[in-house]
A and B are shown apart, each in its own frame.
Chain A
Amino acid sequence: EAGVAQSPRYKIIEKRQSVAFWCNPISGHATLYWYQQILGQGPKLLIQFQNNGVVDDSQLPKDRFSAERLKGVDSTLKIQPAKLEDSAVYLCASSFSSSYNEQFFGPGTRLTVL
């Protein structure tokens, strides 16, 4: 079974630039999550999708972050414009359903904002 795929694996940008991350969840997984993991900390949930609808985006900085999950499969997370404090690893995870709680994580995208 293929795991959660993410790209790119690494990205370096300057502040005020835009960046987008892509995630392909495990086939058949209805729930998709985006997390932000700052160095030395645990992952923090940014947004949760159930199929193509948003379940929770309360911790997403909506003035600069946006995410979509068209057709309920792949998802993209965008930052526009980026700030220095956005430097982190962005993890995508999926689960079979929102009530089946084991989450499967992708390798993450390491973002460095200069």
Chain B
Amino acid sequence: SQQGEEDPQALSIQEGENATMNCSYKTSINNLQWYRQNSGRGLVHLILIRSNEREKHSGRLRVTLDTSKKSSSLLITASRAADTASYFCATASGAGSYQLTFGKGTKLSVIP
């Protein structure tokens, strides 16, 4: 079963605009990660936020985590055509050996 649910399922924006994607999950987590998948390619790790963190930045990416609402958001600022991809949140839970549970993803299209 998939724990994370991304919203929206698809998003289309103009180059230079900001893109926000949301993820909701059901059970307690150790950390939450965001991955990007370009068409027909493998997944690339973007950022990891631990359950005791509220916000994290990496370049043009900003991730927030609200454990009370069991939700996270990924903000991509000043989007580029190369950001066109599917974005997945993945939750890690359990003790010791962690497994990732992925959501269905948000398909982002950045129009030049």
Report if A48-B42 is in contact (Cβ < 8 Å); known contacts: A42-B88, A42-B104: no
Residues 25-55 of chain A: 1 if any B CB is under 8 Å from the residue's CB, otherwise 0? 0000000010000001111110010100001
The segment out of B56-64, B66-74, B94-102 that lies at the interface is B94-102
**Does the CB pair B2–A98 fall under 8 Å?**
no
Q: Which residues of A contact B88 (CB under 8 A)?
A: 42-43
Report if A106-B42 is in contact (Cβ < 8 Å); known contacts: A42-B104, A43-B102: yes
How many contacts between A and B, using CB within 8 angstroms? 61
**Does the CB pair A42–B105 fall under 8 Å?**
yes
Q: Which of B31, B35, B44 has the most CB of A within 10 A?
A: B35
**Does the CB pair A41–B104 fall under 8 Å?**
yes
Assign chain B's interface to a size class: 20 to 34
Give the total of A residues in contact with B, Cβ under 8 Å: 25
**Does the CB pair A103–B100 fall under 8 Å?**
yes
Interface set of B (CB-CB < 8 Å, partner A)? 2, 4, 30-31, 33, 35, 40-45, 48, 88, 90, 92, 96-105
Q: Beyond A102-B45, A106-B42: 10 further Cβ-contacts under 8 Å?
A: A41-B2, A43-B43, A43-B88, A45-B100, A45-B101, A101-B30, A101-B31, A101-B100, A103-B43, A105-B44
The contact sample of 15 A-B pairs, CB cut-off 8 A, is A41-B104, A42-B88, A42-B102, A42-B104, A43-B43, A43-B102, A45-B99, A48-B97, A56-B97, A101-B30, A102-B45, A103-B43, A103-B100, A106-B42, A110-B40
